[in-house]
Amino acid sequence: MKNRQICALDVGTGTIRAATAEVLGKDNIKIIKKGTAPSAGMKGGAVVDMDDLAMAVRKALDQAEVSPGPKIKEVYASMIGGRLRTTERYGVVMVKNDASGVTDSDVDRVLQKAREEPIPSDEEVIHLTPSEFAVDGVGGVRQPAGMAGQRLDVKAILLLAKKAPAENLLRSIDGSVVKVKALGVQPFMAAEAVLDGVEKKDGVILIDMGAGTTDVAVFGGGSLRQASMIRMGGNHLTRDISVGLRIPWPQAEEIKVKDGTVSRLDASKKTDSIYLSALGGKENRKISHTTVAEILEARVQEISSEVKQQLGEVDFNDYFPRKFVLTGGGSYLSGIKEYLERELRLPGRIGLPKMPGGLPAELVKPENAVLVGLMCFGQKHFLNEVSKENQREEMKLVDRNILSRIKTIWQDFLR
């Protein structure tokens, strides 16, 4: 009988998270065990030391491994979204049979034309989303199949990924003595866990704020519209406090977690002081909560400006976002959701992960969004494999065609 155990691995800049689960059915997956380890060998979402990263991955997997039970041999791993970019492409074909009108084959051909436009040699197309079709020059068509016409045009959004960063990540994970079954891009794994179908259809901005990066993904009409990464995250907030107050990193992190807020108004209402431990026998210093809030607000304002700049490059058409969803560990910062609501002029909510069959309380936290999305991803792929055992060689993604591991399995997530 096929082993029903799967393993998800979220490789983050600050923390590596792993979880094993048993697939019980289409809407039923049971979390068995979770493991975490401080990340190493990563900086700003990129691999900088493969050996250090391999050891950190191994530590997280060891904690997630069930004993007695099968050893973890394969994982569904996350790929940092920063190596992605979106671009518009166009395609045009002549309809093959005027009498029958536009067919599914014609639609496939025009999408392939859009995909074939030149891209840099260090990138590869991992997904294509049609924005709109035009039949004989009449635009705004969503489903052209069956329509009468002679010419079919498409305006499409291509999702491109850098090849080298994915290869470095795979080599690092391979060094931890497990194989990558498939890669799931972080912002889309988070979207799978925290967004619902209505939000993706109506228009929503997903902001996943991690330790080293902040991923931004825009959905509308049920499809991806734009994806990008901002090279700032929670660690930058800690560093700002550390540098601004001239204190060690651990103390800066503690202040951010316990006393940090982006709201200077809330900070001004606190009458007590924050005491800074002195080194070298010097006298302890004290600062106001407002001072910390000013430091944090400056960085959050910079992140917000980057988000707005990314949104300014999106052609929303009929899918202007109605809200944003903030997830990731950075969402814990007091006042950040309200600050982004004012800056983006949109209502927002904190995205908590969910999945079929429910989750243990310890996993229903923003920082676990990608991990939970990977488990949903793995569940769908597992069930797909079970239902198509006769096509195993077509479905396997354990070859060395790096980006095929991303694009072949999880295209349905972006539709």
Question: Does some domain include residue 214?
Answer: no
Question: Does some domain include residue 271?
Answer: no
Taking residues 62-87, report their average pLDDT.
Answer: 82
C-alpha–C-alpha distance, residues 347 and 342, integer Å: 9
pLDDT band at 165 (very low <50, low <70, confident <90, very high): confident
Question: Does some domain include residue 91?
Answer: yes
Assess contact for 156 and 128: CB atoms under 8 A.
Answer: yes
Assess contact for 350 and 327: CB atoms under 8 A.
Answer: yes
Q: What is the domain range of residue 147?
A: 84-162
CATH number of the domain residue 157 falls in: 3.30.1490.110
Taking residues 68-82, report their average pLDDT.
Answer: 81
C-alpha–C-alpha distance, residues 149 and 95, integer Å: 7
What single DSSP character describes residue 62?
A: H
Please indicate whether residue 203 or residue 166 has the higher confidence score (pLDDT): 203
Please indicate whether residue 281 or residue 196 has the higher confidence score (pLDDT): 196
C-alpha–C-alpha distance, residues 127 and 141, integer Å: 20
C-alpha–C-alpha distance, residues 368 and 365, integer Å: 6
Question: Does some domain include residue 143?
Answer: yes
- Mean of per-residue pLDDT scores for the chain: 86
Q: Are strands 42-43 and 28-38 parallel, antiparallel or unpaired?
A: unpaired
Structural domain count of the chain? 1
What confidence tens digit (pLDDT) does each residue in 286-328 have?
Answer: 999 999 999 999 999 999 999 998 887 766 666 788 999 999 9
What confidence tens digit (pLDDT) does each residue in 177-200 have?
Answer: 888 888 888 888 999 999 998 999
* Whether the predicted pLDDT of 396 surpasses 50: no
Question: Does some domain include residue 69?
Answer: no
Assess contact for 386 and 164: CB atoms under 8 A.
Answer: no
Question: Does some domain include residue 390?
Answer: no
What confidence tens digit (pLDDT) does each residue in 222-255 have?
Answer: 778 888 889 899 999 999 999 999 999 999 999 9
Assess contact for 78 and 10: CB atoms under 8 A.
Answer: yes
Q: Which residues have a Cβ under 8 Å from the Cβ of 86 and sit 6 or more positions away?
A: 157, 158, 159, 160, 224, 225, 226, 227, 228
pLDDT band at 54 (very low <50, low <70, confident <90, very high): very high
What does the DSSP assignment read for 343-391?
HHTS-EEE-----TT---GGG-SGGGHHHHHHHHHHHHHHHHHHHTGGG
SS3 of residue 114 by DSSP: helix
Residue 373, amino acid? G
Question: Does some domain include residue 95?
Answer: yes
C-alpha–C-alpha distance, residues 190 and 372, integer Å: 8
Question: Does some domain include residue 304?
Answer: no
Q: Name the residue with tokens 């979770």.
A: 34
What confidence tens digit (pLDDT) does each residue in 320-355 have?
Answer: 889 999 999 999 999 999 999 999 999 999 999 998
